[in-house]
């Protein structure tokens, strides 16, 4: 198993958040265009988008956990330090 860098995880996290936000925007557009009265095709599309949002949320949570674990491991091993503000400058967690 290869160890990923914090930046690699951060990049993947940003992509996952963007994907989730795009799916949410698609749902919003469907409702904005059609109101709350959707035909069967639109309703099915919304259901599929909601499933995608759920999966994207899970991916975001998993990546956030991976970042936290990597930071904790780095602090425990001495690879990272707790010098004032160092970890805040990484911008790893929003």
The pLDDT tens digits along the chain (94 residues) read 567 888 899 999 999 999 999 999 999 999 999 888 899 999 999 999 999 999 999 999 999 999 999 888 888 887 777 765 655 556 555 5
3 part of a folded domain: no
54 part of a folded domain: yes
5 part of a folded domain: no
Q: Look at residue 89 in the predicted model and tell me its pLDDT.
A: 57
- pTM to 2 decimals? 0.77
4 part of a folded domain: no
**Structural domain harbouring 29:** 10-90
1 part of a folded domain: no
SS3 breakdown of the chain: % helix, strand, coil, rounded to 5? Answer: 75, 0, 25
> CA geometry: angle at 60 spanning 5 and 73, to 5°?
40
């Amino acid at each position: 198993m290869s160890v990923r860098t914090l930046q690699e995880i951060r990049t993947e996290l940003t992509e996952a958040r963007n994907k989730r936000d795009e799916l949410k925007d698609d749902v919003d557009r469907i409702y904005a265009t059609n109101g709350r009265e959707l035909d069967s095709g639109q309703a099915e599309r919304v259901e599929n988008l909601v499933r995608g949002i759920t999966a994207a949320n899970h991916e975001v949570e998993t990546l956030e956990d991976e970042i936290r674990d990597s930071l904790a491991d780095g602090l425990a091993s001495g690879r990272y330090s707790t010098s004032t503000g160092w970890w805040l400058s990484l911008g790893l967690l929003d």
